[in-house]
A and B are shown apart, each in its own frame.
Chain A
Amino acid sequence: MTTGVVKHRGSALWIAAMIHRLSGLALAIFLPFHFLALGLAIGGEAKLESFLRWSDQPLVKFSEGGLVFLLTVHLLGGLRVLAIENFDWRDGQKQLAALAAAVSVVIAVIFLVRVF
């Protein structure tokens, strides 16, 4: 029933909700691979070790930074939603959402700085 372009989609809280949903989806898709990688240990320590060394590549480490961002932003966005749902209403949700995103970027950058 959409007859035109809906402009409020660009609003800060809509973006926050999209980031939350898409980060969750990305993490859900990533997890089976994460579990399979750890499961390599079943075949012996050498198998896991060779995977870990493969993951030392800069591109992989960069992607891991992305994963750290996704995990942190999903956690912080989720905490904001839990706060809305379980405590009295507080204004300033746009600012809180922006803060969650900013902190997540900082944490991911710290991770990348430490591994490079």
Chain B
Amino acid sequence: MNVRLYLWQRATAALMAPLVLIHIAVIFYATRQGMTAADILSRTHGSIAWASYYGLFVAAVSIHAAIGVRNILTEWSPLRDRRAGQFAVAFGLLLAALGLRAVFAVVLS
């Protein structure tokens, strides 16, 4: 971990604090209401607000989780900086790809 990775990880963490709180509220609401897929999708379809919110969330968590995984790999596995960094980037890209696909799925499909 150096100053650059540190700042990216802490900045995405701070950004996600309110996003997570909103997400927990959404989960509580949706599960209590016993929402069906139709209920959910009718709210998210074509919604710029939901697309922006979850798009931002996906971008932030992809960076944050990738750097976190990189730290765990360098400290707890035999991998060193370069390899751990490569694995982390791959993982971050996977999260971003699957995440943006999920956002697309609920907003546009």
Contact = CB atoms under 8 A, between A and B. Distances in A.
Interface of A: 21, 24-25, 27-28, 31-32, 34-36, 38-42, 45-46, 48-49, 51-52, 64, 68, 71-72, 75, 78-79, 82, 85, 107, 110-111, 114-115
Interface of B: 10, 13-14, 17, 20-21, 23-24, 27-28, 31-32, 35-38, 40-41, 61, 65, 68-69, 72, 91, 94-95, 98-99, 101-102, 104-106, 109
Contacts, number: 87
B13 A78 contact: yes
Contacts of A25: 68-69, 72
Contacts of B38: 45, 49
Interface of B is mostly: helix
A39 B101 contact: yes
A51 B23 CA distance: 20
Contacts of A68: 24, 27
A45 B37 contact: yes
Contacts of A46: 37
A39 B95 CA distance: 13
Contacts of A35: 95, 98-99, 101-102
A75 B23 CA distance: 12
Contacts of B14: 82
